[in-house]
Structure 1
Amino acid sequence: MSSETGTGTEAAATGGSASSSLTLESVRAITKKDFQDSIRSWLFWGLSVFFFTLMAVLAGFIAWAEPEELTTLGFISLISQVCKLVIPLIALVLGWKSIAGERETGSIKVLLSLPHSRKDVLVGKLLGRTAVLSLSLGIGFVIGMLAVAFAVAEFSFPAYVAFLAMTILYGLAYMSIAVSLSSVTRSTTMAGAAMFGVFVLFYIVWNSIQSALGLLMRRGYIDGVSYTGTTLTGQQQEMTRLPDWALFIDMIDPGNAYQNTITLFSGLSGENIGTTFNEAAFPNGLPFYLQDWFSLVILLFWIVVPIAVALYLFDRGDI
């Protein structure tokens, strides 16, 4: 047997291709297969029916409860609060077994014995699961649009499409986290625990950080920033806010970044949605990391960094 043949056999046996570089055709093939497999699964249809029903019920209720005051931006403001919670759940569940499941059953070795690198598999899985999530969101948003479009005086289609685009981007951020964690865990049990940990981190721990820091500031353990503000009665009063670093911690939460990013493209103001700040607390203007455009950078960070780390670890780990 020649040395070339031996090398190829060894690569197949270890579950890797001769090259670890990305190949467009290979990524496309894996994306297509993963998309087709996912939309035939009961998990996809179960999550989709849940989201379709939720959108229809919420849109119908909002249109019925506030028929005279309902606007497109008002609907987006209300629905975004629900999407902030539901989209991560759907993305984490869809990405849960993306690679860990195949690793557990051993089918990942069959996939890697074909001319696919590990990077091809990871990127293809991310794109395939994101396409599945986008399909579900697109149908759900169409259902919501049909339920609301006839209830508002003037439906803003561009604002609604911008809202959908930002929601897909938000879903992509959580899908990147989910697929990345799935690629570095050896079983679906470990992957499931990691997904649960991510959800707890961002929706219990992270939401409690600002309250905890505020309490520490009021008790003197953290130095706040003093400024002169106006009370509801119009009187000037000395006030204190959290330091900039504490506000930055709050801003890098994907959910907060999502809601702030919506204001960039949908026409909503910070008063309708997202994080608002008292202008008097920042006499020199808002720092760049508290501005809405930076929230888009944060979302892109949660898309790029997890998958970049996973590409490094998955490409070098044992299958």
Structure 2
Amino acid sequence: MPISYSFYTESEIEKEIKEYYKIGLNQATGDKKKTLEAKQGENIALLKKRIKNTCFWDKVEKGEQETKSTFSNLTAGAFLAIIVYSYYTKDEKKEADKKNIRNFKTSQKNVWHFHPIAFVEHMKLITGGTRAPWMEIAIAESKKAKGCVENLEPMYSMAKSYLRFVGNKFEPTDGTYGPWCASFMNWCMNESGYKYAKSASSLAPIHNNFKAHFRKIEEPIYGCIVVYKHKTKWKGHTGFLYGLDKDGNYLLLGGNQGNTINIEKYGEYTSKSKSKKLYGFYVPIDYKISEADYLTVGFPKNRTVYNSNLLTLN
């Protein structure tokens, strides 16, 4: 028996959203009504875009590409088949990427499940992805700290947990062995699911022991790891790049900055003593940089502006 599928269309999306806002719009007046109307329009546009990314089945091309493996006798439970991308040759991958078209086997001998890697990639199309997801975690931790310094709760317990996460048993108030900027950075990376270093050293990204965890980039991007190195000692400072100010200074979201989690301004050096100099910019080795990651002039929506001349992502 042939299987038929029905799709959630853009017109159905628009109809449901308008129905959702109907009561509020009927009761609202003036500026409140205008705000609701604008919000309704934004949601319709956003969901139309996302539903459009899922409705590609009419564009599927039939093909009989040779595969290197066979999935036979697979039972029910598979959703719609998504491209078995990893079984393409290098040239086939380039062609598929160029066309942005999914090709499927037409043979009736096998039942094809979606390939997990292809599924993840397609979910990124639907959701639009998240730039530097560890930044949301770092910002949330900053809010949770409530501006407290490391010898007061809740910052003390938070900083201590970051140090314990990387195996450091010293107190966060220990200025010699307890600096926790790198511990905070690595904790955030782990929480976001990306590569990190099990180290409390701010220079971990440049250490040979962790070259399989981080890679250096020439142009700074939103959320990249900024490393400062002491001019004579094996120590420094690290934080996440939030943006730049009008003078080109780096606005770092980081831990152990003023003994708390905040955004501070740094130039080529971390202080007037010039003991710690900018060494480089890094990202987790498994993070794929996109155009959206690069810094542009403007203010991001729904984000607190920490500097009136902030340059960061839209």
Tell me whether the two structures share a fold, i.e. TM-score over 0.5: no
Instruction: Point out which structure has higher relative CO (alpha carbons under 8 A, 6+ apart).
Output: 1
> Which structure shows the higher helix fraction?
1
Which one has a bigger Cα radius of gyration?
2
> Which structure shows the higher strand fraction?
2
